[in-house]
Amino acid sequence: MKVTVFGIGYVGLVQAAVLAEVGHDVLCVDVDEHKVENLKNGNIPIYEPGLTPLVKQNYESGRLQFTTDAKAGVSHGIMQFIAVGTPPDEDGSADLKYVTAVARTIAQYMDDHKVVLDKSTVPVGTADKVRAVMQETLQARGSKLTFDVVSNPEFLKEGAAVADCMRPERIVVGTDNDDVVELLRELYEPFNRNHDRMILMDIRSAELTKYAANCMLATKISFMNEISNLAELLGADIEKVRQGIGSDPRIGYHFIYPGCGYGGSCFPKDVQALIRTAEHIGYQPKLLQAVEDVNYQQKDKLPQFIKRHFGENLAGKTFALWGLSFKPNTDDMREASSRVLMETLWQAGAQVQAFDPEAMDETQRIYGHRADLKLMGTKEAALQGADALVICTEWQNFRAPDFDTIKSALKQPVIFDGRNLYDPERLATRGITYYAIGRGA
Ligand code: UGA
């Protein structure tokens, strides 16, 4: 099937590569010439396990192509995916200017029936806006061409995006026209073989499903972070509590890991966007606001521990930092807890020596100008001469370090762990002072 994907960001690129891999003929359109040229040369703009070979192979086979020519994109596919960004507006609402610009472009150039699929995370009511923009544009052209708008949200996780897309748990399709369902079944047939994962619903329910899923996951995390703060004050161990509650299948073990706050391009943005959507219709979402507030506070947890230990003024202190990305297996630093940590340390006069297995280039891009940041080639190098070690991301490579090396490299044997990677008792017997989340301090 011929497919066009507008927007070669995270979602668009992964979706396009996976659709090409199963045999569809995919053309990706982006306004960024540089990005398009890079992709043609095999340079993938993001780090995502398995994505580079997938893009290269499918580009070489001709099933995956890249262009800046929007007109060619519109004429290529019967399926027109909108996968452009929806960055937060000043007030936290999702900004739809890129989505509506693509809708206008499709209506401007189309010369046969198109199925327009909203893949971007868009507020409830966006499909109606897309439809209105397209109708208006077609009317201005004096055209009577027809089209469908479908809400088809994406549920992939960074770091596991290719696998999630290849083996989706669900394919949510929101449509008001049963006739397009058959086309979507054909498109997704390779991903929908053993049992039917397609969940059909009306458009608004599909749009809300995406936000509800992310907000539910963010709620689980903030809930656990709140309980971890209580555990700390009450002298309980949140890791024991986590196992205790996770064993109830109604609660489950997933997404109840306490930590130094959730980050990334989705949870912070989507929780805020749903709050704004609710407020716009006169509803005060108390729980969502609390989820957001707890997360904001939680990102300050490690800086608080550090100040409790070293005092408010950190001038002359150097901190080794392991983990810069918002989670493992990605180089993405959007809303990462490491950023709040570094910025707070710098404000208090400290220096940072940082290491991350993948996010060094990204850190260089964001903070490369700072004299109080040194990017180190290995996790061991980051420790040399530092006053203490701070951990913000649970990369596998940090899970079983040589504690003797840590002890001898640091000026003081202190670890501030935002991801609860180690056993507090074992560290205590080794003479290391260990601050973790919700485990007593
Ligand atoms: C999230 C969702 O998990 C995906 O289902 C969704 O499709 C995606 O957003 C999206 O909307 O595009 P992602 O942002 O890639 O995926 O990352 P997650 O694995 O969900 O992690 C988000 C943050 O929560 C990370 O900072 C992570 O460290 C934190 N987290 C996660 C915790 O603090 N505790 C947990 O138990 C789990």
State the chain's mean pLDDT as an integer: 96
Average pLDDT over residues 334-359: 98
pLDDT confidence band for 20 (50 / 70 / 90):
very high
CATH 3.40.50.720 domain residues, the chain: 2-201, 214-440
Query: 178 Cβ partners below 8 Å, 6+ apart?
Result: none
Average pLDDT over residues 216-235: 97
Query: Is the confidence at residue 109, as pLDDT, over 90?
Result: yes
What's the pLDDT at 441?
54
Q: What is the pLDDT of residues 60-87, one digit of tens each?
A: 999 999 999 999 999 999 999 999 999 8
Residue 266 annotated in active site: yes
Predicted ipTM?
Answer: 0.96
> Is the distance from the beta carbon of residue 121 to the nearest atom of ligand 1 less than 6 Å?
yes
pLDDT confidence band for 436 (50 / 70 / 90):
very high
CATH number listed for the domain at residues 2-201: 3.40.50.720
Query: Is the confidence at residue 440, as pLDDT, over 80?
Result: no
Average pLDDT over residues 221-228: 98
- Cα 350 from Cα 365, distance rounded (Å): 21
> Is the distance from the beta carbon of residue 323 to the nearest atom of ligand 1 less than 6 Å?
no
Query: Is the confidence at residue 139, as pLDDT, over 60?
Result: yes
Nearest CA to ligand 1 atom 25: 262
Tokens of 85: 């960004």
Residue 308 Cα to ligand 1 middle (Å):
29
What's the pLDDT at 194?
84
Residue 223 Cα to ligand 1 middle (Å):
15
| C-alpha neighbours within 13 Å on the C-beta side of residue 146 | 4
- Cα 440 from Cα 304, distance rounded (Å): 14
Query: 177 Cβ partners below 8 Å, 6+ apart?
Result: 148
Residue 226 Cα to ligand 1 middle (Å):
18
What's the pLDDT at 92?
83
The radius of gyration of the chain's CA atoms, rounded to the nearest angstrom, is 24
- Cα 203 from Cα 205, distance rounded (Å): 6
> Is the distance from the beta carbon of residue 158 to the nearest atom of ligand 1 less than 6 Å?
yes
Residue 429 has a CB neighbour count (10 Å cut-off) of: 9
Query: Is the confidence at residue 90, as pLDDT, over 90?
Result: no
Burial class (CB in 10 A: 0-12, 13-18, 19+), 369: exposed
Query: Is the confidence at residue 182, as pLDDT, over 80?
Result: yes
Q: Quote the percentage of the chain above a pLDDT of 70.
A: 100
- Cα 438 from Cα 236, distance rounded (Å): 8
pLDDT confidence band for 233 (50 / 70 / 90):
very high
- 147: enclosing H helix or E strand: strand 147-151
- Domain 214-440 is in which class? alpha beta
Q: Quote the percentage of the chain above a pLDDT of 90.
A: 95
Query: 351 Cβ partners below 8 Å, 6+ apart?
Result: 317, 318, 319, 372, 373, 374
- Cα 186 from Cα 195, distance rounded (Å): 15
